[in-house]
Structure 1
């Protein structure tokens, strides 16, 4: 019985490490693609309206001057990291 529990724990540990590694790889690929798209937008001079991609609740918080609330909402809705959410909100505040 103790041996089977050890095997199960080992299996879940290895599976967890494998899943984490794969997710980390996908995160890196996505970030690389984001950098490429940003460079292409800059290079071509395309106007890109970030407001259309921001949830309505976040835009409302920005318009009412509630920066921290906007960041918190953006993170909650999109799952973004604090730094990324802060950058988005600050860019929107700058453009408004």
Structure 2
């Protein structure tokens, strides 16, 4: 009985180590993708934390949907339909 318990513990340990190894690899890949995305955003002159999007959110909270849609369109350059859908998702 002790051998069976030992085998279960050993298999569990190997499984945990394997899972941790995979998570570590995924974390490294995600970090690389994030760095590349940051470079692309910098190249395009965009920032991930746009203060103007905070303005859109504030307009939505204040019930000024039309103004929020106008600002959203100005920031993103999307069409009216896409801006309206995005702003409605915010509210």
Q: Provide the aligned C-alpha RMSD in A.
A: 2.0
**Structure 2 CA distance for aligned equivalents of residues 8 and 38 of structure 1:** 45
Q: How many residues are matched?
A: 53
Matches for 1:52-67 after TM superposition, within 5 Å: none
TM (normalized to structure 1)? 0.50
TM (normalized to structure 2)? 0.52
Instruction: Show the counterpart of 1:6.
Output: 6
Q: String of CA shifts for 1:7-44, please: whole Å, max 9, x gaps.
A: 00100000000000000001001000000000000011
Q: Which has the larger radius of gyration?
A: 2
Task: Structure 1 unaligned segments of length 5 or more: list them.
Answer: 53-96
Instruction: Show the counterpart of 2:29.
Output: 29
**Structure 2 CA distance for aligned equivalents of residues 39 and 50 of structure 1:** 16
**Structure 1 CA distance for aligned equivalents of residues 5 and 50 of structure 2:** 51
The secondary structure found in structure 2 opposite 1:6 is helix
Q: CA distance change for structure 1 residues 50 and 28 in 2, over 3 Å: closer, same or farther?
A: farther
Instruction: Show the counterpart of 1:15.
Output: 15
Structure 1 stretches (4+) deviating beyond 4 angstroms?
none
